[in-house]
Amino acid sequence: MDIIETIKEQIANNTILLYMKGSPNAPQCGFSSKASQCVMQCGEKFAYVDILQNPEIRANLPKYANWPTFPQLWVAGELVGGSDIVAEMFANGELQTLIKAAAEKAKAGENA
C-alpha cells in the first residue's frame, strides 16, 4: 500500500490520532510529551503513531498534512496542530470540548 494511502487510512480509522516521537507513556521529545499529556488529560481513548518507528510516515506526513513538524494531532479527520496549538487549546478548554465531541460522535456512529 502506498504510504499516503496508509496515512489517509490511519486518519480515517482513528477519531483521535496523535503522530508523535515515541509513545504517550514514553515520549521521545518534549513537544511530543507536552501534546500527549494534554490529549491524555482529556480522558478519551486515542491512537498514536510513533514516527521514529515509521520513517516513511515521518518523511511523508508533513507533505500530506502541509504541516512541517511533529507531533501532529488529528481529530475527526482534521489536523488540529502541533504541540503549542494543542497546549494552548487545552489551556483554554477548547481541546477538551473538541475531543469529547469527536469521541461521542464516534461512539454514536458505532451504535448506529
Question: Smallest Cα–Cα separation from 13: which of 96, 110, 90, 111?
Answer: 110
Residues of the binding site for [2Fe-2S] cluster: 29
Residues of the binding site: 21, 29, 58, 70, 83-84
Torsion angle, alpha carbons of 53, 98, 45, 36, to 10: 40
Residues of the binding site for glutathione: 21, 58, 70, 83-84
- Contacts of 38-41 with C-beta under 8 Å, sequence gap 24+, read 38/86, 38/87, 38/89, 38/90, 38/95, 39/73, 39/86, 39/95, 39/99, 41/90
